[in-house]
Structure 1
Amino acid sequence: MPGAVQFDAVIVGGGFYGAAIAIYLTRQRGLKRVLLVERESALMQRASYHNQARVHNGYHYPRSFTTAYRSRINLPRFVRDWPQVVKQDFTKLYAIARRNSKVTTKQFERFCREIGAPVRPADPALLNLFEPRLIEGVFEVEEYAFDSSKLAAWAKRELEECAVELRFDTRVMAISRGPDLTSRVRLDDRHGSSEVTCRYVFNCTYSGLNQFAGDFPGTQTRLKQEITEMALMDVPPVLQELGITVMDGPFFSMMPFPARQLHTLSHVRYTPHMHWADAPALDPYSKLGSYARETRVDRMVRDVARYLPSMAQARYADSLFEVKTVLVKNEGDDGRPILFEKHAELPGCYSVLGGKIDNIYDVLERLDAEQFVAAAGISDLRSSA
């Protein structure tokens, strides 16, 4: 192997979280030599792109007050920090089903008041879009979408300005203890294997959190992996300027997807295709790569059109298949807290996962409480964000 190269920090994963943490470490915490490693050929090609591109405002989580409240707090911060990627020029509706919903219209209104989220009854013209025998109430809310392509462009530009070294088409295979509180990170790319050493490692690989050899202990938090399908639809004109969620149970959500000028369609029953308990020997991306990817969009549209008849005229364009990672402990309440683990067995090694784009602020708050020292320095370089 070539000689080791010293870095202050190695970030594993070039999604939004990995990029944002790399920028934070250089801009806010004074680390000078930061390496970001991504297995794909560009930034934000996996879960950061293959999702519903929703900037949550809390409405989606009536069974998890903490998740809802954090989204409510984080949304205005996200809009302030990334105005160029946020799409606000559409009307967002939440509808409550008459049957099988885990929340009633009165409960939903009370929940919105409790978290301070704006909500008002939808105009009659919008009510007419729904089948009244199946829908109990419809509300207009404030919730946005983001353009993942523009967010990736922001990340690329900022990382270059911060002089973060980027290595694409490269996998981290092992993380091991090195001398003097450092870690050794083994990399594989098309040229073969190499090794770098660093003071800090940030494992931001989302579904690949537990896929490292060496001394990496794995996460203490149990994870569940799912192969999911997000259908991309060209919706009829009456739905073009709308985002719609029918909740809270085995229902669906439709949101603008600015990166493709289409709408995403997800269905609680049909979006998850298969699932398994996360384990080091089960590489999620290998399972996704070998999956047949047969779309279920016909079943999605057939069920959605019962509640929203005009969706029967929507045209199917494509599907985004991806691995979704969830914390097992939150399956019952739909909560989406971050996973933030500091591995005692590997000093300076962190595993980070967030279920929503706005969770980034929860991660940065945790990092604010950590002390980081540049490899070449002897002083505490901690500063406030």
Structure 2
Amino acid sequence: MSDLDCGQDAVIIGGGFYGAAIAVYLAKQRGFKRVVLVEREGALMQRASYNNQARVHNGYHYPRSFTTAFRSRINLPRFVQDWPDVVRQDFTKLYAIARRNSKVTAKQFQRFCQEIGAELQPADPALRALFEPRLIEEVFLVQEYAFDTTKLAGWAEQELKESGVQIRYNTRVTEISKGTQAPLEVVTQAQNGVKELLSCRYVFNCTYSGLNQFKGDFSGVRSGLKQEITEMALMQMPDSLHGLGVTVMDGPFFSMMPFPARGLHTLSHVRYTPHLNWNDEQGIDPYEKLGQYERDSRVDRMVRDVGRYIPAVFEAKHIDSLFEVKTVLVKNEGDDGRPILFERHQDLPGCYSILGGKIDNIYDVLEKLDVEILSAGPFTNMQEK
């Protein structure tokens, strides 16, 4: 192990969108001069930030969670303004309500959208004709967008460089502990086995599925987490579906969304996208479980069911599947809400764990950080207290 680092203002664990955005925020908004970001992959945004639907939510998706829906409505315009080059808007987005097994009716969905201020209108006959009318009650034209993760990663790389943030690629954090010469100490291990001890004032644990996987004095997050191995099918859509995004609400149904990073569409299904799930706990590394998983695709079952509602999907071609670990708060399984987890670790002052289920939730995190008392600089005063 190398000698103790001379001291960092903050160590960010995880180089996904949240970790990168928080590192930039600390450097540019809070004046932190010494920030280290630790990422286990060889580049930024290689895991959950990439392996998802690439959807910028506008609230429609959460009729059973008003708070999540309303926050998406507030956050989407800000996201489009802040990352215009990343957001793709040049497609038609439809939400359809199933006649059977849906948890909302068309009238309920319309009322919900009015309550959160989300625009929608009945789809024209040509778009409605894509759906099987015996199974679909109503089809709505809405405003919802997609994002290109590769462009977002490019933004992060540039911003982190300009902000002077050091990045340790191909490196994991193994321990978080109370420090002897600083408030906190973090042990890292590179892929080549070299370990390093970083002393710091703050730690921001943004590892998504790996939130609980640290030794030392770290006791884990208080909130219950559920882990799922998921499959996002990448499809080449026929011409009739190429410029569309479709979500059928609200129950055991599906979504298809443009995936700008690959020029394809994702196809996900509430029943078939989750392959395996378990309650998170220390000692069960989600990424190890993912690495050992056989990854047998369920795309055939997805297509068979989706084709009942949208027959043209039978003409789609399966190109690839993205397998990833998805992490959700156990308390929100019933209402499908996606609030952020923002947890201060009382037994490790200065250590925060942060989890967001949607990209636009980043503003909720930054608003939380805005009211935190965070100070950078030497440790002397803190050690004397």
TM-score tier (shorter): over 0.9
| Separation in structure 2 between the aligned mates of residue 66 and residue 310 of structure 1, nearest angstrom | 35
Deviations 1:114-148 (CA, angstroms, capped at 9, x unpaired): 00000000010000000000000000000000000
Q: CA deviation at 1:149?
A: 0.5
1:53 is aligned to 54
Equivalent position amino acid for 2:290 in 1: L
Deviation at 1:376, TM superposition (A): 3.0
In the aligned structure 2, how far is the partner of 1:106 from the partner of 1:70?
22
- The SS at the match of 2:255 is strand
Partner of 1:25: 26
1:334 aligns with 2:336: yes
How far did residue 45 of structure 1 move?
0.2
How far apart in 1 are the matches of 2:202 and 2:32? Answer: 10
Report matched runs for 1:171-250 at 5 Å: 171-179=172-180, 182-189=183-190, 190-250=192-252
| 2:328 partner amino acid | V
Residues 225 and 276, structure 1, Cα contact 8 Å, conserved in 2: yes
Given that residues 219 and 351 in structure 1 are in contact (C-alpha distance below 8 angstroms), is that contact kept between their aligned partners in structure 2? Answer: yes
Aligned-pair CA distance for 1:272: 0.1
How far apart are residue 262 of structure 1 and its match?
A: 0.1
CA, structure 1 residues 377+280, in 2 after alignment: closer, same or farther (shift >3 Å)? closer
Deviation per residue, 1:279-310 (Å, 9 max, x gap)? 00100000000000000000000000000000
Number of the residue aligned with 1:348: 350
Contact 2:87 2:147 in 1 (8 A): yes
State the alpha-carbon separation in 2 of the partners of residues 185 and 315 from structure 1: 46
Q: Which residue number in structure 1 is paired with residue 129 of structure 2?
A: 128
Matched length? 380
Letter in 2 for 1:2: S
Q: 2: distance between equivalents of 1:367 and 1:179?
A: 26
Aligned 1:64-79 pairs, distance under 5 A: 64-79=65-80
CA contact (8 A) 2:231 2:268 kept: yes
- Partner residue, 2:171: 170
* Alignment partners' CA distance in 2, 1:378 and 1:22: 23
Deviation at 1:191, TM superposition (A): 4.4
Q: Does 1:2 align with 2:13?
A: no
Q: Distance in 2 between matches of 1:309 and 1:211?
A: 44
State, as a whole percentage, how many aligned pairs show the same letter: 71
Displacement of 1:62 after TM fit? 0.1
Match of 1:255 among 250, 254, 257: 257
Partner of 2:374: 372
Partner of 2:85, secondary structure, is: helix
Conserved? CA contact 2:56–2:147, under 8 Å: yes
Residue identity matched to 1:274: L
Q: Deviations over 1:352-385 (max 9, x none)?
A: 0000000000000000010111123899xxxxxx
Q: Aligned equivalents of 1:177 and 1:328: distance in 2? A: 29
Q: Indicate if the aligned counterparts of 1:181 and 1:347 stay in contact, CA closer than 8 A.
A: no
Query: Hey, what does 1:382 align to over in structure 2?
Result: none
Is 1:35 matched with 2:36?
Answer: yes
Corresponding residue for 1:109? 110
User: Which segment drifts farther, 229-238 or 190-199?
Assistant: 190-199
Partner of 1:361: 363
Secondary structure of the residue that 1:20 maps to in structure 2?
Answer: helix
The one-letter code of the counterpart of 1:202 is F
Between the aligned partners of 1:158 and 1:378, the Cα distance in structure 2 is: 30
Any gaps of 5 or more consecutive residues in structure 1?
Answer: 380-385
**Aligned counterpart, 2:142:** 141
Partner of 2:246, secondary structure, is strand
Instruction: Decide whether the 8 Å contact of 2:272 with 2:302 is kept in 1.
Output: yes
Once the two structures are superposed, residues 7-58 of structure 1 have per-residue CA deviations (whole angstroms, 9 ceiling, x without a partner) of: 0000000000000000000000000000000000000000000000000000
What are the ranges of 5 or more consecutive residues in structure 2 without an aligned counterpart? none
Whole-Å separation in 1 of the counterparts to 2:127 and 2:57: 21
**Is the partner of 1:60 in helix, strand or coil?**
coil
Pairing 1:285–2:287 present: yes
Give the aligned CA root-mean-square deviation in angstroms. Answer: 1.2
8 Å contact 1:145–1:257 — kept in the other structure? yes
Equivalent residue number for residue 275 of structure 2 = 273
Contact map agreement 1:181 1:348 (CA 8 A) in 2: no
Secondary structure of residue in 2 paired with 1:83 = coil
Matched residue type, 1:308: I
The one-letter code matched in structure 2 to 1:178 is G
Query: 1:7 and 1:281 mapped to 2: Cα distance?
Result: 28
How far the C-alpha of 1:266 sits from its partner, in A, is 0.2
Aligned partners of 2:379 and 2:294: how far apart in 1? 51
